[in-house]
Structure 1
Amino acid sequence: MIRLFSQGMLGLAIYMGGWYVGGSIFQAVQLGAVGLFIAAGALALMAGGTRRIDLCAAEVILGSAFVFAMLVAFVRGNALSTEFGAMFLLVLASAAVLARQPWVASIDGVFRCAYIALIASVLVVQPSEYLTSVAGTVERAVGLVRFAPLGMHPNLSGLVYGGGSLLFFQHFLTTPRVHQKLFALLLSALCLSMVLAASARASLLALGLTGLIAVLLIARRGSRRARTALILSAIALLAIGVVKATAIADYLTIILDLDSPTRGVDSGATGREVIWQEGVKLVFSDAMLFFTGRGVRAAGPEVIGFPVESSYINLALEHGVVFGLLITLAFVVTAWRTFGRSFATGVMNPALFVSGLMLVFVLMQSIFNRYLVAVGNPYSLWILLLLVRLNLNPARLASASASAATPPRRPRPPLHQAVGTHAASPP
């Protein structure tokens, strides 16, 4: 019963994190979502059965970065940043506990159910706004109408629902049932339409680059069947592109706002290169700031005078260059190792493969937005859990699973099964 409550609180945390209501209640909703996530980890720990697996490198790096940022903020006299650092540390601890549960594979289903609830809420609460935006409506003196699902900023919507499209595409590849495949494909398409409606170009670019990496990996290391499916898909997309070339070009020009004077191709990435230069200049302006940063959430526009529209510059400003590089490397190395493991048996493991693509997506998207390390939205919570799960030592996980099994003489599962239990949904 406690475990069920833990899973319920996790689902509610994900769902609440997708609501960005206006006014004074916003902070309460966001803190409530974070509190529910922490409570889910605490209840899972109370229920017992948590596997005794040593801390992985990603947990050590992130945990050390948060503790160091707390100390820096405390010395600077920034109480709010100190509290943010403590909150991030508690969320990381909860993610570590949840990733060590024997029912860890069911977490994937919890996230999918929460996403389904969010998509249904959007379609019920904002049907006309969604249809108006996804159609590429342009209003005089306003420009392109960008969709904000449940009040969420369009750029953040690109991260949340772009990542959601990969989450459901993973289920499409792994589930053996036809009706579940079709439902997962439909939800993946709906998530992608949310990104289009929000005109979240950074996320669309990140999805495109992620898809390109997937194509290159499958072409190089995939099985004959995977390569054949890739070729057939490419031929089908090329045929559609040739037949509907004009309509597709017109729609993309509108939905991407390419002709806009402020967001178009001549706007210099909507002014981001100027902001990036200012951010880099600020990082190198002070030797102490270069190494220590300012503390978690202490580099906002209200503090430094301008927004930092890049996770990597933001990490340097908040955690210092050293910890910023270590955090980035934790994501990059995890993605690299996950791709290697997904082809280790000679046949692609789709669950592991798409897990690696999810990390690539958030790394690409974070070039243009500062969401690489966050706790206030559904996809950032998913990425944090995924990062921990993919870094847990498979051999130790198998050993812990075998030692806890009943009867005691039950043979240990093969290594590839152990990898599947902590990396993603089982086949």
Structure 2
Amino acid sequence: MNALLRFVSLWLLGLAVYVGGWYIEGPAFQAVQMGAVALFLGAAGLALMAGGTRRLELSAAEAIVGAAFLFAMLVAFIRGNPMSTAYGAMFLVVLASAAVLARQDAAASIDAVFRRAYIALIASVLATQPAEYLASVAGTVEYSVGLVRFAPLGMHPNLSGLVYGGGALLFFQHCLATPRLHHKLFALLMSGLCLSIVLAASARASLLALGLTGAIAVVLIAWRGSRRARMALVLGAIALLVVAAVKAGAIADYLTVILDLDSPTRGTESGATGREVIWREGVLLVFSDPLLFFTGRGVRAAGPEVIGFPVESSYINLALEHGVVFGLLIALCFVVTAWRALARSFATGVMDPVLFLSGLMLVFVLFQSVFNRYLVAVGNPFSLLVLLLLLRLNLSPPRPRSAHFPLTSAAVGHHAAPQA
């Protein structure tokens, strides 16, 4: 019975991830999003019923994020904002569910579920939008419209950059971790397809975040990696330089088109799409009221329909929703967790690819969140994965119950490598 409950729990989790990747226009949108959240809660509930959930102390990350959303819910209630209060309550329930899933021993199975759900999403994209995908990834420009940006399954191009940029890292993690050659090649193919969707969406913030994340990875491998890893890094760099030298003109032309660099509204002369103006307005609003500075407005209470303009930065949005103190604490949770994961991935002298890429996924979302407000979210596949990673990497190792049940988990974040 317990095995059946765990099996159904993983299926519900996979459905939650898959459904969360569809953005249907119209009144059905909220129903689909709430359906994905309900599936996630159901997955956690069945996992708890199945037993085997590790009883670990509340981690600092769970306490900080939970307290931040509880505080935001209370602020919204006092301000008389029932919708924001409901959102705060929903986030708390999702956080509790993520804490349950993060404490399952089958971490490898959960990671595999996310990969399979991503495969289903990519297959759905290619099956339902082949013409749009090919036109966008080729850099099609329409007269008086501009660059055609791809919206996979209705998802906004900016959010697509987060979801599929994170998916590229997820599959690259499996490529490094699995010992089987055909699994490596398939994971590399899926990682490439995810990157192609990011390019088709012209999600420049995500491309920049991936570039910065890759730069950090290169520095860490060059500094702390094994001789074999450094040699692979050198050979890869040489291969890239050769390709760049041979195809420099074609690459430059493609990047100019796909990044929309010559556009009057998105190009190099546009002032970063006006984001610096929006950021300045957001910062001024944070400091305009001492009460708002410390308390914020409540979850999802800083949207353009409320404050009059979009806040295109997670960090300003956190300050507006949770107050500066809790906003900083949430951001620090991500920064510290990423730093610890990356440091511990080299603790044995040989890079742990699962832990290393887990840390890089958090680094990616931190960089990407400078330009978009998706650092803490539950309505898309990658944000659910990030939430699970944040909690899982902060759990203390379980204590052995007896000599017959040896300790199977190592230090914080040393979860099992995912299998195919």
Q: Is TM (by shorter chain) over 0.5?
A: yes
98-107 or 277-286, larger mean C-alpha shift: 98-107
The alignment partner of 1:421 has SS state of coil
Offset at 1:105?
A: 2.2
Task: Assess if the C-alpha contact under 8 Å between 1:291 and 1:322 holds in 2.
Answer: yes
Find 1:421's aligned residue among 406, 415, 418: 415
- Normalising by structure 1, report the TM-score: 0.96
Over the matched positions of the two proteins, sequence identity in percent amounts to 75
**Residue 324 of structure 2 corresponds to which residue in structure 1?**
321
Aligned equivalent of 1:26, options 29, 39, 45: 29
Post-superposition offset of 1:37: 0.5
Give the corresponding residue for 1:269. 272
Matching residue's letter, 1:425: P
Contact map agreement 1:420 1:426 (CA 8 A) in 2? no
- The counterpart of 2:42, out of the listed 34, 39, 58, is 39
- Report what 1:412 is aligned to: 407
Match of 2:107, SS state, is: coil
Determine the structure 2 residue equivalent to 1:242.
245
Q: How far off is 1:43 after superposition?
A: 1.1
Distance of 2:372 and 2:385 partners within structure 1: 17
Measure, in 2, the Cα distance between the counterparts of 1:412 and 1:22: 49
Cα offset, 1:415, TM superposition: 3.1
- Paired residue secondary structure (2:33): helix
Closer, same or farther: CA 344–28 of 1 in aligned 2, 3 Å: same
Cα distance in 1 between the residues matched to 2:161 and 2:413: 30
Letter in 1 for 2:359: G
The equivalent residue for 1:253 is 256
Residues 160-203 of structure 1: CA distance to partner in whole angstroms, max 9, x if unpaired?
Answer: 00000000000000000000000000000000000000000000
Gaps of 5+ in 2: none
Supply the distance in 1 between the matched residues of 2:241 and 2:267 (Cα, whole angstroms). Answer: 26
Given candidates 78, 85, 92, the residue that maps to 1:75 is 78
Taking the aligned partners of 1:426 and 1:69, their CA distance within structure 2 comes to 39
| Alignment equivalent of 2:92, drawn from 89, 100, 113 | 89
Distance 1:98 1:365 in 2: 25
**Structure 1 ranges of 4+ moved more than 6 A:** none
Does 2:215 align with 1:212?
yes
> How many residue pairs are counted as aligned between the two chains?
417
Matching residue of 2:234:
231
Counterpart of 1:145 (choices 136, 144, 148) is 148
Contact kept, 8 Å, 1:300 with 1:306, in 2: the verdict is yes
CA–CA distance in structure 1, aligned partners of residues 258 and 144 of structure 2: 17
1:358 to 2:353 alignment: no
Tell me how far apart the structure 2 counterparts of residues 163 and 259 of structure 1 sit (CA, whole Å). 27
Matched, 1:183 2:186: yes
Counterpart residue type for residue 132 of structure 2:
E
Question: What does residue 380 of structure 1 align with?
Answer: 383
CA RMSD of aligned residues (A): 1.3
Give the whole-Å Cα distance in 2 for the aligned partners of 1:415 and 1:215: 26
Counterpart amino acid of 2:20?
G
Give distance in 1, aligned partners of 2:405 and 2:81: 54
Aligned to 2:300: 297
Cα distance in 2 between the residues matched to 1:421 and 1:18: 26
Distance 1:117 1:327 in 2: 32
Q: Does the aligned pair in 2 maintain the 1:154–1:198 contact within 8 Å?
A: yes
Query: CA shift at 1:426, angstroms?
Result: 6.8
1:51-66 paired onto structure 2 within 5 Å: 51-66=54-69
**Partner in structure 2 of residue 287 of structure 1:** 290
Could you say what secondary structure the match of 2:414 adopts?
helix
Cα offset for 1:46? 1.1
Q: 8 Å contact 2:395–2:413 — kept in the other structure?
A: no
Q: Name 1:132's counterpart in structure 2.
A: 135
* Residues 70-117 of structure 1: per-residue CA shift (max 9 Å, x gap): 000000000000000001001100000001112222100000000000
CA contact (8 A) 1:290 1:316 kept: yes
Q: Distance in 1 between matches of 2:84 and 2:386?
A: 22
CA distance in 1: counterparts of 2:332 and 2:156, whole angstroms: 28
How far apart, CA to CA, are the structure 2 residues paired with 1:176 and 1:220?
Answer: 25
Give, in whole Å, the separation in 2 of the partners of 1:8 and 1:176. Answer: 26
